[in-house]
């Protein structure tokens, strides 16, 4: 019997392993209703399933004002120490301001731990030349960049563009947010096999059956991060997907937090 079967089906929080959510958000979104997108609500949902920490990139920073988004991120992680950590949002359409934000966020706050890009919302391609200063900053500081990646129809951040940039900047550790989107994980795996600086995350609402087992089999659990998209999505199903997956306990612990702790100081 799976050690988590009863806990998951009874809705009991997982408390025997640390869980770090590497892909979360905060606040309202411009074209999707989120019933309660506050930090307090996110923590409540985290506690319901046993998530200890979450790395946040506020939605306003992705879709409109990334400075305001970073301000909200900084304020939130100061208000909820040890629960929230920050992803500094940048926008290639504003290269000078993006560099100011990187300097500001990483100097002001030790709990800002990664950079976040959302090419589709900013309408700036990953391989746009205006992104080069951001990549140089990340390379120099050996940072992770979490990138929203989607299917091939995305002209700004599809998997081919992602792979091109990740190959060009091997000193950056790249997280393929959503692992390429619904049914995009086949291609994401092929990219990860070729590029050792590429990591996958499992945050998404729709996945094929046994997708986590497939990822672990193909690239190993050491390059997979746990993510939920909270508060877009209820984080509890994501917990269940890992807990009930037909993988080893060591694999589950790697995905839940050991991989994150290997590279980032939480």
d(CA 188, CA 9): 30
pLDDT given for residue 1 in this prediction = 59
User: In 14-92, which residue ranges form alpha helices assigned H by DSSP?
Assistant: 39-49, 59-63, 66-79
**Window from 32-36, 107-111, 112-116, 242-246 with minimum mean pLDDT:** 32-36
Beta carbons within 10 angstroms of residue 214's beta carbon: 16
Pairing of strands 20-24, 84-89: unpaired
Distance CA 249, CA 195 (A): 26
pLDDT digits (tens, 9 = 90+) for 44-94: 999 999 999 999 999 999 999 999 999 999 999 999 999 999 999 999 999
Name which CATH class applies to 19-263. Answer: alpha beta
pLDDT given at position 195? 98
Q: What percent of the chain has pLDDT over 90?
A: 92
The model carries a pTM of 0.97
152, pLDDT greater than 90: no
pLDDT at 12: 95
pLDDT tens per residue across span 85-108: 999 999 999 999 999 999 999 999
The one-character DSSP state at 147 is E
Buried b or exposed e, range 24-49, using 16+ CB within 10 angstroms: bbbbebeeeebeebebeebbebbeeb
Identify the band that residue 192 occupies on the pLDDT scale cut at 50, 70 and 90. Answer: very high
What are the structural domain ranges in the chain? 19-263
209: confidence class by pLDDT, cuts 50, 70, 90: confident
């Amino acid at each position: 019997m799976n050690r988590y079967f009863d806990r998951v089906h009874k809705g009991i929080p997982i408390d025997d392993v640390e869980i770090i959510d590497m892909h979360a958000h905060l606040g309202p979104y411009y074209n999707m209703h989120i019933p309660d997108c506050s930090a307090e609500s996110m923590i409540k949902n985290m506690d319901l399933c046993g998530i200890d920490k979450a790395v946040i990139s506020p939605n306003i920073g992705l879709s409109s004002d990334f400075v305001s988004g970073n301000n909200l991120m900084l304020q939130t992680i100061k208000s909820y120490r040890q629960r929230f950590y920050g992803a500094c949002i940048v926008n290639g359409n504003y290269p000078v301001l993006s560099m100011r934000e990187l300097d500001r966020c990483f100097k002001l706050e030790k709990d800002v731990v990664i950079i976040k890009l959302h090419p589709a919302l900013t309408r700036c391609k990953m391989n746009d030349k205006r992104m080069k200063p951001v990549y140089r900053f990340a390379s120099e500081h050996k940072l992770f960049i979490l990138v929203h990646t989607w299917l091939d129809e995305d002209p700004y951040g599809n998997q081919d563009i992602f792979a091109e940039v990740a190959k060009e900047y091997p000193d950056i550790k790249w997280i393929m947010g959503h692992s390429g989107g619904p049914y995009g994980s086949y291609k994401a795996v092929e990219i990860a096999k070729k590029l050792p600086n590429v990591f996958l995350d499992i945050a998404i609402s729709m996945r094929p059956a046994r997708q986590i087992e497939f990822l672990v089999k193909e690239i190993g659990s050491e390059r997979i991060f746990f993510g939920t998209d909270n508060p877009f999505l209820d984080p509890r199903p994501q917990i269940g997907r890992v807990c009930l997956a037909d993988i080893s306990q060591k694999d589950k612990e790697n995905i839940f937090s050991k991989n994150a702790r290997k590279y980032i100081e939480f």
